[in-house]
Amino acid sequence: MSDNRFSCFQSDKHPMKPETVCIEANRILDSCRDKDCFEDVKVLLTDFGNEILEHTANIRAKSACISWTYIGIDPVRFNRGFYSITIKFYIKITFEACLCGGRSQEFEGVAVVEKRVILYGSESNVNVFKSTGASSDFCAIPEPCCSTKNLPVAIVEAVDPIILGTKVREPEEHCCCCCCCNDIPSGIASSVNGTLCDSEGRYISVSFGIFSVIRLVRPAQYIINATEYCVPDKECISAEDDNPCAVFRNMAFPTQEFCPPDYIPARCENNNPPKCGCGS
């Protein structure tokens, strides 16, 4: 496929003239990276999963993914400009159990882990109001508004959890759990095959490893040098109904997928200076 071309770059009659413009963008005030190990976290199972657990202890966790994340931010008292960020990961886990006769059965559960960090987010005493499509109507009913604190925005990036261990435990054993089934949001509970329920019998505990990056941002105005937008010359190409294989024939053969590299160098090798997220 040909590279995208822009007429503005190739036109001698209308050369691009950089100009100074003002833009609004989020400024990163503080950030941190972390790798957390959550040990022996109790998993909330469905009624079907609890029934399987009563008949077998040969269970493994196949996969885990973060379904949703709650992020709460509160100012730190007596430390102006700093904020405490509460992060709660809702993790959906798929298990596989070995039943009688060599049969296997999958079931799902939800685990909740929580962490807190403190980052600098500066201070701002202005109230920010933004127009919406409904508020611009002449006969629109004004929405109730109140003065709120202009808090920074917390952004959390995390990879899917790495499963470090799975155990079947008896009721009298201690577990690490910060919520019950009633605390699970309805959107997450509905994504599981079955109905989540609390059980007083056996339970499953899982240990997770999570890599995450957390940052605090605020909107800010900047003056930059920019050029005007250019319309691309290349036209969009769609697959033809009468010849659906035409586009496929023009695709390059993915040789790299069939020849994986023996060694992938780290980002800090080859005498390159360490960049963001690489090195100390």
- Residue 65's domain comprises 16-125+150-242
With respect to residue 202, please indicate whether it lies within any of the assigned structural domains: yes
Q: What is the CA radius of gyration of the chain?
A: 27
Residues above pLDDT 70, as percent of the chain: 76
User: Is residue 268 predicted with pLDDT exceeding 70?
Assistant: no
Q: Degrees (nearest 5) of the Cα angle 27, 74, 152? A: 15
Can you list the positions of beta strands (E) in 121-202?
Answer: 153-158, 162-169
pLDDT class of 240 with cuts at 50, 70, 90: low
With respect to residue 39, please indicate whether it lies within any of the assigned structural domains: yes
Coil vs helix vs strand at 7: helix
pLDDT in tens, 53-98: 888 888 999 999 999 999 999 999 888 899 999 999 999 999 999 8
With respect to residue 1, please indicate whether it lies within any of the assigned structural domains: no
- Kindly report which listed range (129-138, 191-200, 201-210) carries the lowest average pLDDT score: 129-138
Coil vs helix vs strand at 62: strand
Separation between Cα atoms, residue 92 and residue 185, nearest integer Å: 13
With respect to residue 91, please indicate whether it lies within any of the assigned structural domains: yes
With respect to residue 274, please indicate whether it lies within any of the assigned structural domains: no
With respect to residue 119, please indicate whether it lies within any of the assigned structural domains: yes
Give the mean model confidence (pLDDT) for residues 104-110: 91
User: Is residue 195 predicted with pLDDT exceeding 90?
Assistant: no
Q: Tokens for 148?
A: 């709120």
- Kindly report which listed range (70-79, 104-113, 148-157) carries the lowest average pLDDT score: 148-157
With respect to residue 207, please indicate whether it lies within any of the assigned structural domains: yes
Sheet containing 59-75: give its strands across: 44-45, 104-120, 82-98, 59-75
Residues linked to residue 20 through DSSP beta bridges, in sequence order: 225
Q: Say how far residue 130 (Cα) sits from the centre of its chain.
A: 26
Separation between Cα atoms, residue 199 and residue 169, nearest integer Å: 12
User: Is residue 214 predicted with pLDDT exceeding 80?
Assistant: yes
Write down the mean pLDDT value for the chain: 80
Choice between 143 and 156, residue whose per-residue pLDDT is larger: 156
Structural domain count of the chain? 1
With respect to residue 144, please indicate whether it lies within any of the assigned structural domains: no
User: Is residue 261 predicted with pLDDT exceeding 80?
Assistant: no
Which sign, positive or negative, has the C-alpha torsion 35, 37, 43, 49? Answer: positive
